[in-house]
Every structure is written in C-alpha cells, then in structure tokens.
C-alpha cells in the first residue's frame, strides 16, 4: 500500500491554508524584517559597509557610553528588588488576609498603568522637586538622577508585579495549610515552607519582568535623568540627536540582552505547581494583628500612588504652582507649539485604530493557531512568533521600524511617517499579551465544535463568526482595551516614528515637560488618565452587561 | 456491496502507533461497536472514518467509492462527540437548525419542520427553546443526537456518546439510541470502552487493543468464543489456567461444583470464600493440582443446595466445548 503523503494534498483546505500563510507572513514581516535591519545596522558603518564588531568596540571604548550600562543595571536591579518586595506584600495582603476594601486596593494598585511613565516622573517632580509638595514640608530628596529614576521605575513596575503575584497567590491548596496546622507549624514556617516555595516561578518571573521593564524604560530617565545616563536615553540621543543610526542599533541590541538572558535562563519557565481537582479552596484564618499590619501597608501604598495623581491634579488646576494656587482651567488650553489639544485627538485616533485592528488581527491569528485543522508546523511557528514581541522593548520596536520602513528599497516605505506605522508598531509592541488572552479564551471552547461544524458542512467563517466570536466577546473586549490603554500611554516605540504633523499626546507631554510647561503636561496626563479610566469602565460595564443580559439567560457561567 | 470499508489503516502520532493495519467493514443499517481500553486507537479510527484525521497508510471506501481523502463535509456523516460539542450560545432548536442551514435545497419552513421532527424523535420537543447549559446531561446528549440525525446523514458516528452520563440515564439512552437507529435504518459506528454497552447495543463488535483489531464478531461470538486471551480477559469475568502447554480460558458460569467428581476430568479444589451476589453466588476456590485460583458463578439456589463453606473440598468440572484454548504466550 502506497504512502498516503502524496494524496494528502487533496485534503488540504486551501482557503484555510491561505489565511494561515497570510497571517504568518504579516507577523513575520513586521517582526523579523525590522529586527534583521537592526542587527545588520549594528555591524555596519554609516555607508553600509560591514565593520564587524567595530561599533561595539567604539561603544565600550567611550567611557560615557559604557558607563550607561552600569547605571542601567544599577537602577534596574534596585527598582526590581523593591518593586518585587512591595508587590509581594501588597498581593499577599489582598489574597491571604481578611482586610477590608480589597477591590478598592486592587484597582488603586493598577492606577500607574493608565498614565505614561513620563508622568510618573512628572508626579515625582511635583512631590519631591525643588518646589515639591513634600519638599515644602521639609522632607528633602534629590529627585533628579538615580534616586528619582529608581522611584519612578518602582511605580512603573509595581502594577505588573502585583498582578503576577495576585494570580499566583489567589489559588492555593488549603489541604497543605491544614496539614501544616495539624503538625503544629508556626505562621512563619508555613510562609517559608509552603507559600514561598509555591511562588518560586512567579518570583523569578516577576524579577525578570520588572528588571526588563526598568532596563528598557525611556520615560523616567528622560525626565529625571539629567546627567545620569542610561541606555534608553543614550539610544534616543544617538538617533534623534546625533543621527548615529549604527550606534543606536548597537544600544538597541544591548536592550535586548535582559530578555534574551531571561529566555535562556528559563526565567519565563512555566509554573508546574500541582493544583489538582482535589485541591480545596484556601480559607483565610482570622488574624487581627496580621490584618491590621497589612491594612496599614496597603493604605500607605495607596496613599503614595494617590499622592502622585493628586499632585497632577494640583499642578493641572492651579494657576502657577507653587506661587499662585488660584484654581484655573487655563492649563487645559494647550500651546500649539508642543502639540496642543490636537495631539490628544491624534492619540485617540491612533489608539482606537490600534484597538480595532489589533484586536481583529490577534483574534483571527489566535483562532487559526488554535482551531485550524491539521497544519502542525505552521501552528508551531505561529505560536513561537507570537510570543517574541514580549521580549522587545518599545525603543527597539521603534528604531528597528525606522531602519526597516525608512529604507527606500522597502515597498512598504510609503507608510513611513503616517498614522499607519504608529498603529502597526503598537500592534506589534503589544501583540503577545492579547495573543495569550485570546488563546486562553479559545482553549476554553469545546475543541470538537469545529469538528461538528465541519461534519455538518458549515463553512469555517460561519463557525468563527456565529460561534467563536460571540462566545469570546469578553476576551475580545479585554484585548481591545489592552491595546487602547497601552497605545494611549506609550512613548518608547512611537517616539521615533511620529511625524511632526501628527503628534500624539504622550509625546506632547514629553515636549511640554522639555519646554517647562509642567502644568500643561499635568493637565494632558489627567486627560489621558481620564480617558483610560473611562475605557476601563466601559469595558467592565460591557462585560457585566454581557454576563447579566446574555450569559445568565443562556445558563452560561 | 458493503456500506463502508476500511482497509489496512495505519496512523502514528509523534512516533506512537495509534493504528496498525486496521481493516473492518460496516453493512448498511448495522450498528458496529468499536470496543477497547482507553488508548487502543478506537477514537482515532473513528476520526479517520469521519475525515477529521488522515491516516498515514490505508484506505477508506464508502459505498464502493474511495473516500480516504474526502473532506468530512462530503462524507455525509452525523457525528456525536463525547463532549456533545453543542453550540452554547444557541438554543436546542437553533443548534439543530444551524446544521440544517447548509442544506440549500430546503426552504426555511422545511428546515424548521425537519428540526422539530428530529427533536420529537429524541423527546426534546418541550425543551427546544432552552440553551445547552440549562439542560441535563442526558438532554444535552439527545440534542447532539438530534442535530446529527436532522441532516439525514448516510451514517451515524458516535464517540463514547454515553460515557459522561450517570448509570441510570445511560441505561435508558442506550435503548433509545438502539430504537432510533433501527427505526431509521441508520448504519452506525459507536466507540465505547464499556463492554456492557457494546454487548447490549451492537450488531457486531470490533475489539481493539494496542492499535490492532483483536476480534470482530457478534456480541455472542465475542463472549463465547473470544479469539485471543486479551478479548477473553477484557469482556466479562474469565478464569485462565495453563494446561498441556497452552492457555485455557473458561467463564465462571460455565463451571460446575460437586461434592463428588463428575468425571475423570473433574479437578479437586478447596473453597476460598463465597460471595453472595443476589441471583448468583460467586465461589472462589483454589485448585489442588497447582494452587491456582478459580472462580465459579452458581445460581444462588444451587449454591444453597450444596451448602458450601470455606475450606470445603469440592470437585470442579466443565464441558469441553466451553473451554477456549490458546497457544501459550511466547
């Protein structure tokens, strides 16, 4: 009997294959193309000749530049350590104690996600700067330089770390704690021998995530750095200041190192802890002392974050802080020179388009990887490709996009300097998390639904539109929201790609800050924060309505 | 002409053999059960027959035409999966209608009539406007069945259709599926790991183990003349013992117990313990010749008559035609 391989071609579903190839090619082009350009530029001189490691030698030979590496390592390590400790305690308070107001505390911790990182730094200046609210109380802190950047990075990374710990601590097997109780273990022993070992992977992952975020952040050092140089500001100076593309590419490759190391070290390893169906829900025992301690801790953390937002409010709504505290709305009349209100609407347009096209692309992509019949190899490649952006800092996305799309040889050159390239860079930059969200949602659907539909001769697109999409509404909305909120606050990827004719709000804030218009920057930040909160609220409302109007009626969970 | 023929199918997953040269056939209107332990390849076989999986080697023939590479939609099979795979966002009736919608030769009224007819057949008329998650397991199963038969398929493929249900519902649905299948004259292949299900429902059973077919036959033939030691051990209770360099297997209910030897073949044994099972009584005994344990099912009446107790010496005999002999395992 002959091998069936040759005849298998007959069974290939051509439209399905076409969609699959298109999706893979699209992602591969915007991912691999720019990265390849970045790496080749790092090994070339200005004229495009191959120079081997010369650029790297020059880089490390310049003390001012090489020093940035140590500065960057320094602030990343310190801020990752503090962020990890604070987030662990905060998440522990919300999952393993009986404090009140958990929902409030949870949302309070997420506040920094809704504003650009540049604004964290701005808030710190309002609090600790020479005329800061806290400085005025007699508490002096040198906010420009190392300390300020570290504080700002802690604020930036805290919500991410908190979310990861929250997920890990939320689930636990109560039987382990009961067994420990029956053996007479002290609370400290239980924490050290049960809770911490269960968090092993999360601890490693959180540290790597925080470290990488701080390592590659552009906003805080831009505002607070002064003479304290880090890689992220170097790359900006090299590219935007000195037009030294090759040196910029060198720094870009250096920014990839932490993600690469964490990848190689298995830092992003999967959690293999053994929660089984038999595991019982964790019951939190009363502990008034413990609860009081953690409640106070949470209040302090919340106050610290609130102070940041509050300082923006003060800055935005007073005539000239700190000299004239008369309330005013004048700061919302933005100077045209730094971007004006138009930049806000530009941001809205860009984020809206990113949310729309990003959600569509990610969802169809995840659907094909999850539900297409056969094609094991394209699926494997597709899944791998989809998580690569997780390792790409925004700055790297930005500069590699310049290299790729600005080349006249590229047929896609026409999108350079347009809104399209901003949207595209955002979709790529934030691709991985929505992909994982979509995959998770699709995995929950019965995998035989596609088989049944196929045997009933129902076309694939019809199954997709009438079954998979309606059942994945919440995930789709979550994805759109994620794209929107992140596009509103991003600076790093787009700072190299916006055109002067189409400035966006987060960039405008940078320029306002450069021009010394702190009050306007604060006002713009509040507009972004307000819009992001509104979008979040709309999302929560939509999910709630979906659950109560549709799912409940259909007996769905 | 056979309705369906499978010839020498082989399939590997990541080097693991799921099917090894499997052949079988299905007559028109017949209910064929694929029976075997989990991982024996029976579901893979069903999926290849359905067109949802492709074989590495071998052919599938449908009504005299080769269908090995025919897409699932063109095979015209109604499939019911273990998980039912109902569309959760559609009512029972919409589920059935969604499948019918692809039949462009029917107008809307006809499609609705067909859907309601199918729902009546599985007694779901009153529940047709409910959503799957508002139904019991049995009702969900019947919805899946209605959806499959509504499109007037050429054959029905059932993948462990009853295994997610509790024992009582299962017993009732078993009868219902059989009744429906006979009434419609639907050629059916059903995958199951439940031997009782297979024996009570099937016209013929295909016993599978480790990716190969062990035996194909009527339930009675499979039970009374198991072709291999595996089949003998897999279905019902069986006593195994070695004799004359071969392996012998005999059903507990075919053995007789007496106080005196019945003939020259009768074996001496000592009673281990006695288990009351209602209509029958199971007696565990140890053979005097080699100490091997043997169990005997007696009608309880007969056991009472014998008044056997632990450690009693008895004689066990069996008619030669009830003994299945196999060559010794290598």
Query: Which CATH homologous superfamily contains domain B4-230?
Result: P-loop containing nucleotide triphosphate hydrolases (3.40.50.300)
Q: Do A471 and B72 touch (CB under 8 A)?
A: no
What is the per-residue pLDDT across A425-455, written as a single tens digit (0 to 9) for each? 999 999 988 998 899 889 888 888 888 888 8
Return the beta strands (E) in chain B as ranges: 4-13, 16-26, 31-35, 57-62, 65-66, 77-80, 155-159, 187-192, 204-209, 212-217, 239-243, 246-250, 256-258, 267-276, 280-287, 293-299, 313-317, 324-327
Answer whether residue A557 shows pLDDT above 70: no
Q: What is the pLDDT of residues A40-92, one digit of tens each?
A: 988 988 777 888 888 888 888 888 888 889 999 999 999 999 999 999 999 99
Asked if B89 and A374 come within 8 Å (Cβ–Cβ), the reply is no
User: In terms of CA atoms, which chain B residue is nearest residue A373?
Assistant: B52
Identify all chain A residues contacting B132, using CB atoms and an 8 Å cutoff.
Answer: 555
Check residue B257 and report its DSSP letter.
E
Are both A449 and A494 inside the same structural domain?
A: yes
Which tens digits make up the pLDDT trace of A461-490? 888 999 899 888 889 999 999 999 999 999
Cα-only R_g, chain B: 24
Residue A216 and residue A71 in one domain: yes
What are the tens digits of pLDDT across the range A381-390?
Answer: 888 888 888 8
Which of B7, B79, B98 is facing A451, going by the closest CB pair?
B79
Give the phi and the psi of residue B248 in degrees, each rounded to 5: -115, 145
Is A4 part of a structural domain of the chain?
Answer: no
Number of A:B CB contacts under 8 A? 97
Q: Which residue has the tokens 């294959």?
A: A17
The answer to whether the peptide bond before residue B190 is cis (omega within 30 degrees of 0) is: no
Q: What is the pLDDT of residue A115?
A: 87
Q: Does residue A104 or residue B72 have the better pLDDT?
A: A104
- A24 lies in the same domain as A124: no
How far, in Å, CA of A165 to CA of A209, rounded? Answer: 12
Residue-level pLDDT at A1: 39
* pLDDT value of residue A362: 95
State the nearest Cα–Cα gap between A477 and chain B, in angstroms. Answer: 18
For chain A, give the mean pLDDT.
Answer: 86
* pLDDT per residue as tens digits for the range A186-245: 888 888 888 888 888 888 888 988 998 899 898 889 888 878 889 988 888 888 888 888
A509: domain range? Answer: 13-41+336-557
Mean pLDDT calculated for residue range A16-29: 90
Q: What is the pLDDT of residue A444?
A: 86
Q: Are A256 and A384 within one domain?
A: no
Residue A275 has pLDDT above 80, yes or no: no
Looking up tokens 């030979």 gives: A61
Distance CA A343, CA A347 (A): 6
The chain A residues in contact with chain B (CB within 8 A) are 1-4, 7-8, 10-11, 13, 373-374, 446, 448-449, 451-452, 454-459, 466-467, 470-471, 553-557
Q: Which of A351, A354, A346 is nearest to A505 (CA)?
A: A346
What is the DSSP track for A157-169?
Answer: HHHHHHHHHHHHH
Radius of gyration of chain A (CA): 25
pLDDT band of A281, cuts 50, 70, 90: confident
For residues B250 and B319, the answer to whether their CB atoms sit within 8 Å is no
pLDDT tens readout for residues B110-157: 999 999 989 988 888 889 899 988 898 889 999 999 999 998 899 999
Answer yes or no: is A387 within a domain. Answer: yes
A448/B85 touch (CB, cutoff 8 Å), yes or no: yes
Question: Is B56's CB within 8 Å of A374's CB?
Answer: no
pLDDT on residue A67: 87
* Nearest chain A residue (CA) to B147: A456
The sign of the dihedral angle between the CA atoms of A34, A38, A43, A44 is positive
pLDDT score at A131: 81
My answer on whether A142 and A239 are in the same domain is yes
- Label residue A11 by pLDDT band (50, 70, 90): low
- 3-state SS, A516-529, equals CCHHHHHHHHHHHH
CA atoms within 13 A of residue A174's CA, in its CB half-sphere: 9
Tokens describing residue A453: 């539909």
Q: Does ipTM top 0.85?
A: no
**Among all residues of chain B, which has the CA nearest to that of A6?**
B56
**H or E segment and range at residue A326:** strand A324-327
The string of DSSP codes covering A97-166 is: S--S-HHHHHHHHHGGGGS-HHHHHHHHHHHHSTT-TTGGGT-----SSHHHHHHHHHHHHHHHHHHHHH
| Nearest-by-Cβ selection for A446 from B8, B58, B83 | B83
Q: Do residues A97 and A214 both lie within one domain?
A: yes
Name the band, by pLDDT with cuts 50, 70 and 90, for residue A3.
very low
Between chains, do A555 and B132 touch, taking CB under 8 Å as contact?
A: yes
> Are the CB atoms for B287 and B268 separated by under 8 Å?
yes
The separation between CA A152 and the C-alpha centre of its own chain, rounded to angstroms, equals: 16
Question: What's the average model confidence in pLDDT over A341-364?
Answer: 95
A510 vs A528: CA distance, rounded Å: 14
- Is there a single domain that holds both residue A203 and residue A340? no
Residue B228 has a pLDDT of 92
Q: How many domains does chain A have?
A: 2
Instruction: Using pLDDT thresholds of 50, 70 and 90, give the confidence band for residue A270.
Output: low
Task: Identify whether residues A31 and A68 lie together within a single domain.
Answer: no
> Do A142 and A34 share a domain, yes or no?
no
pLDDT of residue B329: 63
For position A397, what pLDDT does the model report?
Answer: 92
pLDDT of B182 higher than 50: yes
Residues A211 and A308 in one domain: yes
Q: How confident is the model at residue A2 (pLDDT cuts 50, 70, 90)?
A: very low
Per-residue pLDDT reduced to its tens digit, A148-157: 999 999 999 9
Q: Which CATH class, in words, describes the domain spanning B239-327?
A: mainly beta
Q: Where in chain B is the domain with CATH 3.40.50.300?
A: 4-230
Contacts A17 to B, Cβ<8 Å = none
pLDDT score, position A6:
47
CA distance A152 to chain B (A): 46
Q: How confident is the model at residue A327, as a pLDDT?
A: 86
A492 — alpha (psi -120 to 50), left (phi > 0) or beta?
Answer: alpha
Question: Which phi and psi (to 5°) does residue A134 adopt?
Answer: -85, -35
Do the bridges between strand B239-243 and strand B280-287 make them parallel or antiparallel, or are there none, so unpaired? unpaired
Q: Specify the pLDDT at position A258.
A: 85
Delimiting residues of CATH 2.40.50.100 domain(s) in chain B:
239-327
Per-residue pLDDT, A425: 94
Asked whether residue A115 is assigned to any structural domain, the reply reads yes
| Residue numbers in A near B129 (CB within 8 A) | none
Q: Is residue A278 predicted with pLDDT exceeding 60?
A: no
pLDDT tier, B97 (very low <50, low <70, confident <90, very high otherwise): very high
Phi and psi torsions of B69, nearest 5°? -115, 20
pLDDT at residue A282 greater than cutoff 80: no
Considering the domain architecture, whether residues A350 and A324 belong to the same structural domain is answered as no
Residue with tokens 């056969």: A374
Among all residues of chain A, which has the CA nearest to that of B136? A555
pLDDT at B31 over 50: yes
Q: Across the interface, do B85 and A471 touch by the CB < 8 Å criterion?
A: no
Cα(A313)–Cα(A119) distance, rounded to whole angstroms?
A: 12
Mean pLDDT along residues B195-222:
93
Which residue is listed with tokens 């979550």? Answer: A478
* Same domain as A401, residue A500: yes
Mean pLDDT of all residues in B73-90: 89
Distance from CA of A378 to the nearest CA of B (A): 16
| Contact between residue A228 and residue A145 where contact means Cβ atoms under 8 Å apart | yes
CB–CB contact B131 A554 (8 Å): yes
**In chain A, whose CA is at the least distance from the CA of B60?**
A4
The CATH number for A307's domain is 1.10.3720.10
């Amino acid at each position: 009997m002959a091998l069936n391989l040759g005849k298998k071609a007959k069974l290939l579903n051509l439209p399905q294959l076409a969609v699959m190839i298109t999706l893979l090619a699209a992602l591969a082009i915007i991912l691999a193309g720019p990265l390849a350009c970045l790496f080749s530029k790092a090994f070339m001189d200005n004229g495009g000749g191959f120079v081997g490691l010369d650029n790297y030698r020059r880089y490390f030979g310049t003390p001012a530049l090489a020093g940035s590496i140590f500065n960057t390592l320094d602030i990343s390590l310190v801020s990752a350590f503090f962020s990890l400790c604070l987030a662990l305690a905060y998440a522990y308070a919300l999952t393993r104690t009986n404090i009140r107001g958990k929902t409030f505390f949870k949302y309070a911790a997420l506040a920094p996600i809704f504003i650009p990182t540049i604004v964290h730094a701005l808030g710190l200046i309002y609090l600790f700067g020479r005329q800061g609210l806290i400085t005025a109380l007699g508490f002096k802190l040198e906010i420009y330089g190392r300390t300020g950047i570290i504080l700002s990075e802690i604020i930036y990374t805290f919500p991410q770390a908190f979310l990861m710990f929250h997920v890990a601590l939320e689930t636990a097997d109560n039987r382990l704690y009961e067994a420990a109780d029956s053996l007479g273990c002290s609370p400290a022993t239980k924490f050290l021998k049960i809770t911490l070992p269960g968090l092993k992977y999360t601890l490693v992952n959180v540290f790597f995530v925080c470290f990488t975020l701080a390592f590659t952040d552009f906003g805080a050092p831009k505002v607070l750095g002064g003479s304290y140089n880090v890689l992220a500001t170097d790359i900006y100076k090299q590219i935007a200041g000195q037009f030294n593309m090759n040196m910029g590419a060198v720094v870009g490759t250096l920014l990839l190192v932490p993600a690469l190391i964490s990848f190689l070290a298995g830092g992003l390893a999967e959690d293999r802890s053994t929660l089984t169906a038999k595991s019982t829900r964790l019951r939190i025992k009363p502990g008034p002392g413990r609860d009081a301690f953690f409640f106070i801790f949470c209040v302090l953390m919340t106050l610290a974050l609130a102070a940041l937002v509050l300082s923006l409010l003060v800055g935005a709504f007073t005539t000239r802080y700190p000299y004239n505290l008369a309330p005013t709305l004048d700061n919302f009349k933005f100077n045209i020179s730094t971007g004006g209100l138009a930049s806000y609407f530009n941001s809205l347009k860009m984020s809206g388009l990113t949310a729309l096209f990003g959600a569509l692309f990610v969802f169809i992509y995840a659907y094909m990887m999850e539900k297409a019949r056969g094609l094991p190899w394209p699926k494997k490649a597709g899944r791998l490709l989809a998580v690569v952006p997780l390792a790409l800092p925004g700055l790297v996305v930005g500069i590699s996009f310049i290299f790729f799309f600005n080349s006249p040889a590229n047929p896609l050159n026409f999108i350079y300097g347009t809104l399209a390239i901003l949207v595209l860079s955002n979709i790529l930059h934030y691709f991985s998390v929505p992909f994982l969200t979509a995959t998770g949602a699709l995995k929950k659907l019965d995998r035989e639904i596609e088989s049944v539909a196929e045997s009933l001769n129902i076309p694939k697109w019809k199954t997709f539109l009438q079954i998979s999409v309606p059942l994945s509404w919440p995930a789709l909305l979550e994805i759109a929201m994620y794209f929107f909120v992140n596009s509103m606050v991003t600076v790093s990827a787009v700072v190299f790609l916006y055109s002067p004719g189409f400035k966006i709000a987060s960039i405008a804030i940078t320029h306002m800050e450069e021009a010394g218009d702190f009050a306007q920057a604060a006002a713009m930040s509040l507009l972004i924060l307000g819009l992001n909160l509104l979008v979040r609220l709309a999302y929560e409302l939509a999910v709630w309505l979906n659950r109560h109007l549709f799912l409940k009626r259909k007996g769905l969970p | 002409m056979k309705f369906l023929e499978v010839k020498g199918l082989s399939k590997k997953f990541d080097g693991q053999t799921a099917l090894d040269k499997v052949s079988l056939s299905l007559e028109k209107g017949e209910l064929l059960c694929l029976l075997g332990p989990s991982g024996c390849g029976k579901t893979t076989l069903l999926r290849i027959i359905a067109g949802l999986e492709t074989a590495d080697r071998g052919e599938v023939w449908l009504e005299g035409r080769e269908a090995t590479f025919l897409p699932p939609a063109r095979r015209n099979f109604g499939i019911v999966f273990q998980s039912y795979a109902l569309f959760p966002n559609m009512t029972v009736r919409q589920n059935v209608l969604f499948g019918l919608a692809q039949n462009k030769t029917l107008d809307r009224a006809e499609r609705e009539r067909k859907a309601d007819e199918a729902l009546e057949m599985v007694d779901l008329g009153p529940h047709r406007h409910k959503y799957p998650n508002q139904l019991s397991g049995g009702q969900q199963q019947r919805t899946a069945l209605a959806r499959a038969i509504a499109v007037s398929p050429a054959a029905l493929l059932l993948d462990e259709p009853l295994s997610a249900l509790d024992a009582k519902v299962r017993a009732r649905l078993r009868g219902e599926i059989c009744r429906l299948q006979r009434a419609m004259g639907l050629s059916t292949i059903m995958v199951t790991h439940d031997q009782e299900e297979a024996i009570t429902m099937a016209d013929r059973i295909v016993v599978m183990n480790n990716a190969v077919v062990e035996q194909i036959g009527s339930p009675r033939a499979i039970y009374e003349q198991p072709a291999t030691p595996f089949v003998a051990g897999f279905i019902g209770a069986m006593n195994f013992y070695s004799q004359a360099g071969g392996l012998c297997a005999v059903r507990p209910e075919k053995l007789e117990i007496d106080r005196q030897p019945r003939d020259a073949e009768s074996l001496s044994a000592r009673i281990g313990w006695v288990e009351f099972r209602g209509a029958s009584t199971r007696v565990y005994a140890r053979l005097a010749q080699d100490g091997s344990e043997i169990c005997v099912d007696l009608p309880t009446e007969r056991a009472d008559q014998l008044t056997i107790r632990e450690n009693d010496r008895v004689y066990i005999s069996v008619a030669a035609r009830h003994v299945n002999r196999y060559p010794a395992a290598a």
